[in-house]
Chain A
Amino acid sequence: MGSADEQHLGTDQGRILIHPLAPPLDQEQAITLSSSNSLGTLPAPTASGRFLHRHETLRGYLLLSPTLIVLALAILIPFGLLFTMSFWSMSGYDMVRTPTLGNYAAILEQPMYGALLSRSLMVAAIATGVTVILSYPVAYYVAFHVYRHKMLWIILLTLPFWTSYLLRIFAWRVVLGYEGALNSSLMGLGLIEAPLQAFLYSKTAVTIALAHAWAAFAILPIYVSLEKIDKSYLEAAADLGDTPARRFWRITLPLSLPGVVSAFFLMFIPTVGDYVTPAMLGGPDGMMIGNLIQAQFGPINNWPMGAALSLVMLMAVAVAGAVFLLLTRLVRR
């Protein structure tokens, strides 16, 4: 996880917490504590201080508990059941609950699953890579070259992300279609005689649509990490005679790398499992693992297999993520 957490922790530890929801009982202690804090000294670990500390922790958990309960119910139980179900099998319309590794064996044995999985990882990785690379200069521009309308820029760049998912996909069909905008303008310019079929129903179409759909998600983390860079480093480097390119390579890029990593994950993970984009833009060769999972829960009606496939996909994503993380660590060094 990222650097911001560490910062929060760092600041929190040096802080004396006066909680607004603290019961009146604490007030006297609070006053003494806050005055000692204003003198810049840490309070001695008195008994009451320890009590307050533990109390704070308790209250923190209390405040967190509703969210944690909701999420635990909605995350742990479903995934637990998904895991269990992945060892079941189907007989007609009924699930057989005798544990079996059959689903996983089938995933290993039949080439279709591996092929679709690796295609999904490839498409998602390419879309993410392209998006991150293309977004970086924009984030850089907004972070370093825009002064007065920063907010406007950020809002403008993130707005399209909030338009309907289905409609964004549909919009791409209008652009890439046979009589779509791209073909029409190419023909209008006299570059091609007849409409090209190559655009729609291909992995390329899926990649383009995914890249477009998630661009906003990629820009934000990069922007934030660039914005956080202490500009005195850059000034110092400039004073020491570094060229702009060198400053970028030695300071800006390494310091913004956490943002790039976040952007990669935020976009890569959801796109691996997408099934609507490939279904609508992919054609026969653009099918992805998500389509197959959806089919298991739909027409094929083999939920155990669908569960196993979902978990395998999740594992593959985790492994791909770990590899990526490892690579960035190596590069940073």
Chain B
Amino acid sequence: MAEPQIFNRHNRTLAAYAIGFAVFLYVPILFIPLFSLNSGLYQRFPMDGITLGWYAQLFTRGPVFDALQNSLQVGLSVALLSTVLAVPAAKALSRAVLPGKRPITGFVMLPLVVPGLVFGVALLVVISRLGVPLSLYTVALGHVVVCLPFAISILLPRFEGANRSLEEASADLGENGWWTFWRVTFPNILPGVVASLLLTFTVSFDEFIMAFFLSGTDATLPMYIWTQLRFPQSFPSLLALSSLILVASFALVFLSLWFARMGRTDTSLVSR
């Protein structure tokens, strides 16, 4: 597709602004890995010296790894559960002629626009009324609710864009619905599924407010970091841990967003 002439001019001012904006987004975050290498206990300039000692110390701390495992477990279950729930929901929302589809979509997206604090508190109230002990399960429940809108938002465009004629052809050729789904629809939406898994995992992994209200003995990693903030001696090793998490979640999100956008050609980008 030929680009309209009016946009071909390279806009240097705008480009510089966009780059500056990106720098502003990244600079504060980069202080975390920077200070994880600082040999002093306190994060201040000028730095005291360079050390990898905090990373080494990290590996001697048992609770860190417990928390990490808890977060991985919760994250994995949340990712699977919310994606499994989101696939049929996105399918229905994208295809079926559904009376009341707009209010339903609105309802499903509600967790995105209710302050996490109110949500966490409301869930805590119910859970404690029911006498259900707080545990990683309650955290996972909270996270599924938060993650569902994300998963559906990612899957919906996949279903909408899926080439329907292939499914029709498959049905024409006598495949039953189940096989058509696995052999035609599923490969088609797979990038969306992978993206949804990775993204919901990341959301759950970093989620703090729900975990704050809903966790029991087993702290998730953000909860652990929160309780350790009061404890100056362990703080630099938390920075080391955070730097590692930072790298890992950047990698995961990069992968997931890459998948989500994979296969898009330039024309499809421009014409919508």
Determine whether A and B are in direct contact in the complex, meaning some CB atoms lie less than 8 angstroms apart.
yes
| 8 Å CB interface, B217-272 against A | 222, 225-226, 229, 242, 245-246, 249-250, 253-254, 257-258, 261, 264, 266, 269-270, 272
Taking a contact as CB atoms under 8 Å apart, the answer to whether B85 and A66 are in contact is yes
Taking a contact as CB atoms under 8 Å apart, the answer to whether B167 and A67 are in contact is no
- In the assembled complex, which residues on chain B have CB atoms less than 8 Å from the CB atom of A18? 164, 167-168, 171
Whether A31 contacts B172 in the complex (CB less than 8 A), given A20-B185, A162-B206, comes out as yes
The one of A53, A174, A276 in contact with B209, judged by C-beta atoms closer than 8 angstroms, is A276
Taking a contact as CB atoms under 8 Å apart, the answer to whether B115 and A290 are in contact is yes
Whether A167 contacts B88 in the complex (CB less than 8 A), given A85-B125, A144-B7, A314-B114, comes out as no
Q: How far is the CA of A154 from the CA of B18 in the complex (A)?
A: 11
Taking a contact as CB atoms under 8 Å apart, the answer to whether A174 and B170 are in contact is no
Taking a contact as CB atoms under 8 Å apart, the answer to whether B97 and A12 are in contact is yes
Chain A: which residue is nearest B45 at the CB level? Answer: A184
A-B contact pairs, 30 of them (CB 8 A): A1-B102, A13-B97, A20-B181, A20-B184, A21-B180, A24-B176, A34-B168, A56-B96, A60-B95, A75-B107, A75-B110, A78-B122, A82-B121, A140-B14, A145-B15, A159-B250, A160-B25, A160-B26, A164-B242, A164-B246, A164-B249, A166-B222, A168-B29, A184-B46, A212-B25, A228-B272, A231-B7, A232-B4, A274-B115, A290-B117
B8 CB to nearest chain A CB (Å): 9
Taking a contact as CB atoms under 8 Å apart, the answer to whether A56 and B167 are in contact is no
Taking a contact as CB atoms under 8 Å apart, the answer to whether B14 and A27 are in contact is no
- In the assembled complex, which residues on chain A have CB atoms less than 8 Å from the CB atom of B229? 166
Is A297 an interface residue when CB atoms closer than 8 A count as contact?
Answer: yes
Q: How far is the CA of A330 from the CA of B68 in the complex (A)?
A: 50
Is A175 an interface residue when CB atoms closer than 8 A count as contact?
Answer: yes
Whether A20 contacts B177 in the complex (CB less than 8 A), given A145-B14, A266-B113, comes out as yes
- In the assembled complex, which residues on chain A have CB atoms less than 8 Å from the CB atom of B112? 266
- In the assembled complex, which residues on chain B have CB atoms less than 8 Å from the CB atom of A307? 121, 125
- In the assembled complex, which residues on chain A have CB atoms less than 8 Å from the CB atom of B208? 164-166, 276
Stretch at the interface among B56-64, B72-80, B140-148: B140-148
Q: Tally inter-chain residue pairs, CB-CB below 8 A.
A: 307
- In the assembled complex, which residues on chain B have CB atoms less than 8 Å from the CB atom of A244? 6
Q: How far is the CA of A179 from the CA of B46 in the complex (A)?
A: 8
Q: Could you tell me how many residues of chain B have their Cβ less than 8 Å away from some Cβ of chain A?
A: 110
The one of A147, A162, A212, A274 in contact with B28, judged by C-beta atoms closer than 8 angstroms, is A212
Taking a contact as CB atoms under 8 Å apart, the answer to whether A273 and B31 are in contact is no
Besides A164-B208, A293-B117, A297-B124, 20 new A-B residue pairs in contact (Cβ under 8 A), listed by A number: A9-B101, A20-B171, A21-B181, A34-B172, A59-B96, A66-B88, A67-B88, A70-B145, A70-B148, A71-B111, A81-B125, A159-B254, A163-B250, A167-B242, A170-B32, A181-B45, A238-B4, A293-B121, A310-B118, A314-B114
- In the assembled complex, which residues on chain A have CB atoms less than 8 Å from the CB atom of B92? 59-64
Q: Give me the 7 closest cross-chain CB pairs, A-B, nearest first.
A: A273-B115, A60-B96, A78-B122, A179-B44, A184-B45, A21-B177, A63-B92
The one of B27, B32, B167, B222 in contact with A20, judged by C-beta atoms closer than 8 angstroms, is B167
| 8 Å CB interface, B99-157 against A | 99, 101-102, 104-108, 110-119, 121-126, 129, 141-142, 144-145, 148, 152
- In the assembled complex, which residues on chain A have CB atoms less than 8 Å from the CB atom of B99? 57
Q: How far is the CA of A163 from the CA of B29 in the complex (A)?
A: 8
Is A255 an interface residue when CB atoms closer than 8 A count as contact?
Answer: no
Q: How far is the CA of A244 from the CA of B114 in the complex (A)?
A: 39
Q: How far is the CA of A164 from the CA of B28 in the complex (A)?
A: 13
Is A138 an interface residue when CB atoms closer than 8 A count as contact?
Answer: yes
- Is the contact region of chain B dominated by helix, strand, or loop, or is it mixed? helix
- In the assembled complex, which residues on chain A have CB atoms less than 8 Å from the CB atom of B54? none
Taking a contact as CB atoms under 8 Å apart, the answer to whether A60 and B98 are in contact is yes
A11 CB to nearest chain B CB (Å): 8
Interface centre among B3, B118, B208 (most CB of A within 10 A): B118
Whether A145 contacts B10 in the complex (CB less than 8 A), given A166-B226, A307-B125, comes out as yes
Is A150 an interface residue when CB atoms closer than 8 A count as contact?
Answer: yes
Q: How far is the CA of A156 from the CA of B269 in the complex (A)?
A: 17
Taking a contact as CB atoms under 8 Å apart, the answer to whether B177 and A19 are in contact is yes
Is B67 an interface residue when CB atoms closer than 8 A count as contact?
Answer: no
| 8 Å CB interface, A232-250 against B | 232, 234-235, 238, 244, 247
Taking a contact as CB atoms under 8 Å apart, the answer to whether A171 and B28 are in contact is yes
* Binary interface encoding of chain B residues 26-70 relative to chain A, with 1 for a CB under 8 A from any of its CBs, else 0: 111101100100000001111000000000000000000000000
Q: How far is the CA of A70 from the CA of B222 in the complex (A)?
A: 25
